[in-house]
Amino acid sequence: MARQLRDVVFVDGVRTPFGKAGPEGLYAETRADDLVIRCIRELVRRNPSLPPERIDEVAIAATTQIGDQGLTLGRSAALLAGLPKSVPGFSIDRMCAGAMTAATTVAGGIAFGAYDVAIAGGVEHMGRHPMGEGVDPNPRILSEKVVDPSALVMGSTAENLHDRFPHLTRERCDAFAVASQDKVAQAYAEGRIQPDLVPMATRSVEQGWGLATKDEPPRPGTSMESLASLKTPFRSHGGVTAGNAAGLNDGATGAILAAEEVADELGLTKKMRLVGYGFAGVEPEVMGVGPIPSTERAFRSTGLSVEDIGLFELNEAFAVQVLAFLDHFGIADDDPRVNPYGGAIALGHPLASSGVRLMTQLASQFAERPDVRYGLTAMCVGLGMGGTVIWENPAWEAQ
């Protein structure tokens, strides 16, 4: 039986404010699963024309699937969010690209006709669950030299990029980081980030209940001078600092994806249309270059090129990693198409949740820019991978 693939649209996306991981952070005493449950509930609230029983799947990513990030989180979060018991769910893990992979996975099911509507998202509580907690890496990975030992330490992989691309200096990375902080501060001042945030209740034994309404990590007013004084924890006289890399963070994201014809039927918004995507592997010890081949793969499968892309949402795990991508594609460090609202260096990077943050921010920019037809979300991924998703702007007006 011949099947006709359906177009997939991004209907809506939300996220909790991102917090700093650790005992003083926003969510130090808040459960990880409650973060993503809040996102699911908010998606349902914001889209009243979507009957909950029409949701066909819930895919939730977490890098550390243990404790309150375990127990088949997609299913347990769906139940706790009040979705009908008929709605199934599952968990997914591709480290930093978890939520991105959740979105592309359900999108494939929608295009194939297995689902009409699905929720995809991710959560990471790095305060409760440090990256790698409870894992038992096979000793052959190192003993048989499958990877360089530095491949298992993300900061060290970023230092390896400085070795491979010596023109990507610490000063250049610091300048990119300052720009990210400045753009986030401006986006907040203009009210561009707040619409994506869902207020999140927080608890503290000492202080009682609170309400998180904005991101905790940004450091407005960051200067080159202040960054120059920071230590390089992964290597003496290295290039990676706490100022030009994303921190350790807690937070969750969620998005609704649907077949375009179903979105029309239900009266749902169509903020973006999926064009194509690609994932690729690279040497794990230089995992930061992963978005380069994944983007090239996405271009090959869609017939597009970098010249077609009007907006880029690149995850700023490390400034050096973003700059390697920009250099490869001939894009200036300060190109206004890149991360117009700033990125993870300022906002934070709760690992598996970040892919949907990129999508949600791109959707907001599409609404402001009917002159832009195509946008791209991309990120590097631990153990040597990259992920890229290309989107079309439904509001595009042909010039």
Instruction: Answer for the pair 121, 44: CB distance below 8 angstroms, yes or no.
Output: no
Per-residue pLDDT tens digits for 277-331: 999 999 999 999 999 999 999 999 999 999 999 999 999 999 999 999 999 999 9
| 380 has catalytic annotation | yes
Per-residue pLDDT tens listing for the chain (399 residues): 677 899 999 999 999 999 999 999 999 999 999 999 999 999 999 999 999 999 999 999 999 999 999 999 999 999 999 999 999 999 999 999 999 999 999 999 999 999 999 999 999 999 999 888 888 889 998 899 889 999 989 999 999 999 999 999 999 999 999 999 999 999 999 999 999 999 999 988 888 899 999 999 999 999 999 999 999 999 999 999 999 999 999 999 999 999 999 999 999 999 999 999 999 999 999 999 999 999 999 999 999 999 999 999 999 999 999 999 999 999 999 999 999 999 999 999 999 999 999 999 999 999 999 999 999 999 999 999 999 999 999 999 865
Contact 354, 379 (CB under 8 A): yes
Portion of the chain with pLDDT greater than 70, in percent: 99
Nearest one of 195, 217, 253, 343 to 15, comparing CA atoms: 253
Neighbours of 218 (CB within 10 A): 21
Helix (H, G, I), strand (E, B) or coil at 313: strand
Q: Report d(CA 312, CA 377) in Å as an integer.
A: 6
Report the C-alpha gap between 250 and 268 in whole angstroms: 30
96 is annotated as an active-site residue: yes
Do 392 and 275 contact (CB within 8 A), yes or no?
Answer: yes
pLDDT of residue 399: 53
Residues in the chain: 399
Helix (H) or strand (E) holding 85: none
173 catalytic residue (yes or no): no
Quick one: the chain helix, strand, coil %, rounded to 5? 40, 20, 40
* Active-site hit among 125, 129, 162, 349: 349
pLDDT digits (tens, 9 = 90+) for 185-217: 999 999 999 999 999 999 888 888 999 999 999
Considering the candidates 96, 125, 129, 173, report the single residue annotated as catalytic: 96
pTM of the model: 0.96
